[in-house]
Structure 1
Amino acid sequence: MSPLTSRSGARLAVTRTDDVLPGHAALITVVSAGADIIDLDPVSAYKLGRLLIDAAGDEGYREHLIALGRLSPGARSMNLAEAIEQHNDANAVVPGDADYLYSSGTPDDKGLLNAAIELIPEAWAIDIAAAAAAEKMGVSYAPARTGLRTDVIQRLTTAFAEREGDPDWASLSQGRQLDELFPKYNGIGVWELLDELGITAVYVSYA
C-alpha cells in the first residue's frame, strides 16, 4: 500500500491484490478516505499515475503496447523484456529511435541515459572519474535539469551505427569522431558534449 494525499486533504492509497479469482487479472484499487471526488494537484496526479503504473506492472505495460500495435498479441506468452528485445532487434532500432521500446515505457528512462553515457569517449570518462577521485568522491551521471536530448542521442547513435565498419572512421579517435559530428565547436570538449547530450556528471560520496 502506498499512501497519497488529495488536494482536499483526503488520504489516498493504491493497492494491488493478486489472485483475486483464479484465472483473472490482478485487482488494482484506489481508496479515498472521506472524499467522493479525488481532486489532485498536478504533482499529486503525477505521483498517483506512477503508483498506478507500478501497480499494473509488466502485464499492464504489455497490454498497453499490444493495444497500440507496438507488440503482437503473441507477446502475452513471452517474458516482457524478451518481447521488447525481439521487437527492437527485428526492427533494427536503437535508443532514441521513435520505434524503440524501453523496458519502463518512458523515453527518458535509464536505458536512454545509459545510451547517452556510452557516447562519452572512454578517455574523457576516465578523466572525469579521476577528477572526482581526487576529491575522494565517485562519479555518477544523471539527466540535466533540461532533460535528456533525445534528438542528439538518436543522431549520434545512428551516426556511429551507420559508420561501423568504415576503416577511415575507425582510424579516428573517439574525440575526433565527435568533432566531425559537432563541427560548430571546432573541437568539442567533454563538458560541451555533456550539455549536448543533456546529462550531467554528479560527484557522489560513498562514505
Structure 2
Amino acid sequence: MVVAEDLALLRDGLIRLLGAHGFDVVAAVDNGPDLVRALLEDPPDVAVVDVRLPPTHTDEGIRAALRAREEVDGLPVLVLSQYVERLYARELLADGRGGIGYLLKDRVSDVGDFIEAVRRVAGGGTALDPMVVAKLMDSRRRALPLDRLTPREREVLGHMAQGRSNAAIASAMVVTEKAVGKHTNNIFAKLGLQPSDDDNRRVLAVLAYLDGWGA
C-alpha cells in the first residue's frame, strides 16, 4: 500500500491505522512527483491519496493517481479530500473501471467505514462518500435518462454510488436482496447498459448518476 498525505501528523496516523488493520504500507510520500514514482515503480495493491499535495497544493494528488491508473490498468486508488468536489469524483470514474474511491477526510475518524472503503477499493470496487452522494442529490438535476428511474430505483442507485453490494443495500433499505436485484436490473435497462460484467455495469451506472446531477 502507498499513502500520500502532506500533513505529517495525518500521514503518520494513517500509517498506524492501516497497519493496525493488516495493511502493509510500503511507501508514504508527501508530494505529487514522489507519489507518481511510488505508484509506477512498484504498483501497490491500493493507494490512499490526498487530492491536494505539494508543490502547488491544488490537484497534484488526483493528477498523479489518474496518471498512474492510465499506465497501470485498474490500479486501486482511494482519494481523500477536505471538501466535496464533484469534478474529481467524475474524473476518477471516467474510465469506467472499478478500484476507485472518493472520501472526505472526516470519514477517516469513522475507522470502521474507512477501513471497509479501503478494502472495497483494493478489491476492485467503488467507494463514494455519502456526503458526495448527498450533495449531488441536492443539486439541480438535468434532463438525462435518470428521469426514467422511479424514486426507489434512484435510492438504490444512490447506495450503489457509495459502493454498497446488493446485500448491503437490502439491509440499508430493509428489503430483500431479490428486490434490490430487480431494482438494479431495471436501472441497467433504463440507462441502456447492455448485459456485461456486473461490476462494470455498476460503475457505468454510477457514472451516469454523477453525470445526471449538476449544480
Normalising by structure 1, report the TM-score: 0.26
TM-score after normalising by structure 2: 0.26
- Greater Cα radius of gyration, structure 1 or 2: 1
Which one has a larger percent helix, Structure 1 or Structure 2? 2
